[in-house]
Amino acid sequence: MEKLMAALKAQIVEQLNLQEVKPEDIGDDQPLFKDGLGLDSIDALEIIVLLQQHYGIRIANPEQGPEIFHSVRTIAEFITAHQTAK
Amino acid sequence: MYNGEAYITGTCVVRNNRIYRDGVLLLETPQEQELTDFLRAGYDQVSGQYPKFHKMDPLSKLGWLAAEVLLKDAPLNSYPPESVGLILANKSASLDTDLRYFDTVKDIASPALFVYTLSNIVMGEISIRHGFKGENAFFTADAFDPGFMAGYISQLFLENAVSACLCGWVEVMGPVYEVIMYKVERSGGELVFNADNLQKAGSI
């Protein structure tokens, strides 16, 4: 899980072009949107693309978005659950 | 009775990896430096502390940076936001980004690029940064036309549609780019806003 979260942080910084954020600056449980990292709706779409490109995962139910994308940890848990279910 | 007269109160020219404000060189980087790196150098020198900048396309970065140069020390915040306009023009519209976006469509379309596939997005970025809510228009033409720009904007002043505005040329296509941006106000300057002075003020 730690390794996956570290990889995710680096991928988020790269994919979202967060040039003034270092991957290690992102907390495992830090909210990614609003008052947390300050990501917006376009960033959410980019994370969906990231999951598809790097992990082959498509979000089947958009209503799950806020729950899955809450933090790096929740995304990592979603990826792990998805890979286990395969 | 107000006759529609206005004044050029600031000029920013960006070309050949140089940024000028009112004819004075603010930044110069090596000619061989790529546009992306030049824009980052400009951001670091002129602004900073605006992470959204890094997500913008080159057209928005150029316009945003020129506006920053013009407004950093002399903002237009004494005017009601509804009376500050933005009138820009260029040759390639958003084609530079349209082509980049088209490349991504072959794989997975990029949402971050898609949002910049309109030329007037640069005015949105400037408006968000500075709180402008006034009249705006983006024109596409083969070359910068001071006569057209002066005529259109003078009419806006005459009709009291604006009390101040940023206007000019923001062009980019691949590595080729040029910005000539002006700050124009109803009062407070000596250089009368007309086609000849637009031409002169932008000639560096």
Q: Which domains occur in chain B, in start order? A: 7-202 (3.40.47.10)
**Per-residue pLDDT band at A86 (split at 50, 70, 90):** low
**Per-residue pLDDT band at A69 (split at 50, 70, 90):** very high
Separation of alpha carbons A38 and A5, rounded Å: 19
Residue B84 Cα distances to B75, B79, B164, angstroms = 11, 7, 5
Say which of A18, A42, A53 has its CB closest to residue B51.
A18
Domain with A26 in it: what CATH number?
1.10.1200.10
The Cα of A20 is separated from the nearest Cα of chain B by a number of Å equal to 7
Closest by CA to B134, choosing from B104, B88, B165, B106, is B165
Ranges of residues in chain B with a pLDDT under 50 are none
**Rounded mean pLDDT of A77-86?**
86
**Could you tell me what percent of chain A has a pLDDT over 90?**
69
Give the chain B residue nearest A52 (alpha carbons).
B108
**Rounded mean pLDDT of A9-19?**
93
How many contacts does A have with B, using Cβ atoms within 8 A? 29
The Cα of B52 is separated from the nearest Cα of chain A by a number of Å equal to 8
Closest by CA to B35, choosing from B55, B17, B54, B59, is B17
Domain count, chain A: 1
Contact B68, B46 (CB under 8 A): yes
**pLDDT over 70 at A68, yes or no:** yes
The parent domain of residue A80 ranges over 2-85
**Predicted ipTM?**
0.78
- Average pLDDT score over chain A: 91
DSSP secondary structure letter of residue B4 = -
Whole-number pLDDT of residue B166: 98
Separation of alpha carbons B44 and B48, rounded Å: 5
Task: Check B111 against A19: CB less than 8 A apart.
Answer: no
Partners of residue A18 in chain B, C-beta under 8 Å: 51, 54
Say which of B40, B55, B108 has its CB closest to residue A53.
B108
